[in-house]
Chains A and B, each alone.
Chain A
Amino acid sequence: MIHGENDRQSDVGEPADLDRLLAKAVWPEPEPETLQWLESFWRGIRSGNGTEATARADLGVTVVDRRKVGHNGRAGSRLGRRRGIVAAAAVAVGLASVLLVWRSWTPVANNNDNQGAQPVEVTEPSGNGPALAADDAREPSDQAAVATAVVGRPATAFETFVFLWGIAQQQATPATPVDPLVQVLAQRVAQPYGDLDALCRPLAANRRAHERALAARIAQTRGKELMAAIDVLGRVGSEQSVPLLNHLSHFPETRPVAIRALGRLADPRYVGRLIEKEPEPETQAALLASLLARRDSGSLVVYLKLVASPKTGAAACEALAREPYPPIDELFAYFNSPRLDERAAAAVALGRLDNPAVIDRLARLVAHDRHGREALMALAASRHESAARFLANLRRDPAMAGLVAAARHHVESEFAPPPARPPRPIEDNSGVRSEAAFLLAWAWWNYGTFSITWMCASC
């Protein structure tokens, strides 16, 4: 241990005491799970290093590319510089030789006696160079004449050859198809809240290549295009994009989009941690939705842990209630789990759905005495009127009253209370009410009409 020079002059306690106290400090030990996760993260970086390094280069982070730099970071770059010089020299020599050949092929008459040369009679071209080149219906002799017109003097054989060769090349080259990735990104920029799944369908064929292209594009773009690229990467990418997205999540402007993309691609346990740490409710809800959308057992286990956590329980139940197709059957399957915490969390999640069909199913479970405890917990967690009525009926039976109280106590003591929102009505009665009013009015009208008619008839 190193001491400061004046330690011994202190008047409060001896340094040895402080050392003893400092030696007692206990930090949480790294969990084996975390170490395993970091090792797998490390393997992920190693396999996707090229992509990530390229992507980070333009994000303002210094990147050392080991393919270009030698072990000591200098020799390789020197070699690269030398190669560049040699290449530049070769190109310069090539250009010079082409120029020489060009000059030597020019007709002697044109060089020596320009006054004596008669201008060639040519038809004046109707447009510029590219328009001429596109005109593929001309005879070769005509084309030679046009070449002469373009040059502004009698064309040499070499010039005519180059001209004809250019036209042939242009005709042979098929029209370049538009990259589907570019199309998808353009559409996403135009409609940032459109259906991304449908939008990304054309990219399903070659995901890996698109993932690499997106990583490179993310490094080069800014603003809306960058957001669109991250969004699309979240749908098209794989686990290899996780380090890049993780990096992007540290920048305030890209954080919400990157976090959402991470929710789809990262390991469910990692997503669970992100949800726990996320301060923004909207982003947290989006992460929860992406976790629920996966529907695999790993994600549901993480989801159940979040339900059981007092910090995230309410948000997790809210996310399930907002889900258009909640994984109800999968959650019912967790009633068979050997772990009590998972069974209880599944019960509470199902109960807080406040769905009449689910409550009916839970009541049937209680009636058939199958998973009765979990079903009672779910019913106790529910705020639906029919669940409350069912439990009230059960409480009249002395044998069941204790079980109901125990289930309620378990839910209230172990799980976060639901957020304050009005309970969902059982059914919308407004339509019924308006129908009844209409019938009443109609009856009064008929009665009035009938009485007036009768009175007139009697008069």
Chain B
Amino acid sequence: MRKRQKMARSAETGRLDDLVTRHLGDALRLAIRLTGDPHWAEEVVQEALVRATRGWGVFRGEAAFRTWLFRIVIHVFRDQLPVRAKAEPLDSEPPEPRPSDPAQQVLDEELGRLVAARVSALPPRQREVLVLTAYEGLSADEVARVLGIRRANVHATLHVARQRLRAELAPYLNER
């Protein structure tokens, strides 16, 4: 009986290891998008891994493992936010949009980094909703489940986030 329990436990452990290894990259990517800082993202994922080990016992498999891991990452991000928020404000104002020139690719990259910085500087809840929907490809229901809010709330928050981004990135939108 004990042998069977042991075997079952080791099989479960192996399964968790597989799942974590498979989704580690996704979790780190999500953390980078939320924090905008790879070093901080690494800390967030580390803490999330510790929590995943502890929470694995109560994971019922109702949600996909990826969603479950994302939820942990988001919780850790929220916990660490008050400490970090004081330290690092956004470093610069957006640069003036430049006319197109041969180095368009370089400019695009610069613009990409700027947009990323703006997304990562949104208020936490708006950032979470936008990143999960726009960049992680989660549906409204999934986002609602991950964040523990209603579907209507997801839409409203997303709308506010987009309005805010639209105002901040207006020079680039008008240019087009």
Give A contacts to B, CB under 8 Å.
Answer: 1-7, 10, 12-15, 17-18, 20-22, 24-31, 34-35, 37-39, 41-42, 45-46, 49, 52-53, 56, 61-66, 69, 71-73, 243, 246-247, 250, 273, 276-277, 279
Contacts and interface: CB of A to CB of B under 8 A. Distances in A.
Interface string B19-41: 01100110011001100101101
Interface centre among A13, A25, A34, A277 (most CB of B within 10 A): A25
Interface string B73-102: 000000010010001000000000000000
B166 A18 contact: yes
Given A22-B115, A27-B36, A30-B28, A243 B162 contact: no
Interface in B41-82: 41-42, 45-47, 49-50, 53-58, 60, 80
B50 A72 contact: no
B115 A2 contact: no
A27 B116 contact: yes
A34 B25 CA distance: 10
Interface bracket on B: 35 or more
30 contacts: A1-B133, A5-B155, A6-B159, A18-B162, A21-B115, A21-B172, A22-B115, A22-B119, A24-B108, A25-B119, A26-B112, A26-B116, A28-B32, A30-B25, A31-B38, A35-B28, A37-B42, A38-B42, A42-B49, A49-B53, A53-B54, A61-B54, A64-B55, A69-B58, A72-B58, A243-B46, A247-B47, A250-B80, A273-B39, A276-B39
Given A4-B155, A5-B159, A25-B115, A12 B166 contact: yes
A64 B57 CA distance: 7
Contacts of A73: 57-58
Given A5-B159, A12-B174, A45-B53, A21 B20 contact: no
A267 to B, nearest CB: 12
Contact of A13 (B47, B130, B173): B173
Contact of A24 (B54, B80, B112, B140): B112
A25 B116 CA distance: 5
Given A1-B134, A27-B32, A31-B38, A246 B46 contact: yes
B149 interface: no
B53 to A, nearest CB: 5
A4 B13 contact: no
Contacts of A246: 46
A179 B64 CA distance: 48
Contacts, number: 149
B158 A2 contact: yes
Nearest to B157: A4
Contacts of B47: 247
B12 A3 contact: no
Contacts of B170: 12-13
B38 A34 contact: yes
A14 B33 CA distance: 24
Given A42-B49, A45-B53, A4 B24 contact: no
B53 A2 contact: no
B154 interface: yes
Contact of A38 (B24, B154, B165): B24
B13 to A, nearest CB: 7
Contacts of B46: 38, 41, 243, 246
Given A17-B176, A30-B32, A25 B50 contact: no
Contact of A41 (B29, B49, B159, B176): B49
Interface in B119-176: 119-120, 130, 133-135, 140, 154-156, 158-160, 162-163, 165-167, 169-170, 172-174, 176
Contacts of B160: 4
Given A13-B173, A21-B115, A66-B56, 20 more contacts: A3-B158, A4-B159, A6-B159, A10-B163, A13-B166, A18-B162, A18-B166, A18-B169, A21-B111, A21-B172, A21-B173, A22-B115, A22-B165, A24-B112, A30-B38, A41-B46, A46-B13, A46-B17, A63-B54, A250-B83
Q: Which of A3, A14, A26, A273 has the most CB of B within 10 A?
A: A26
Nearest to A2: B133
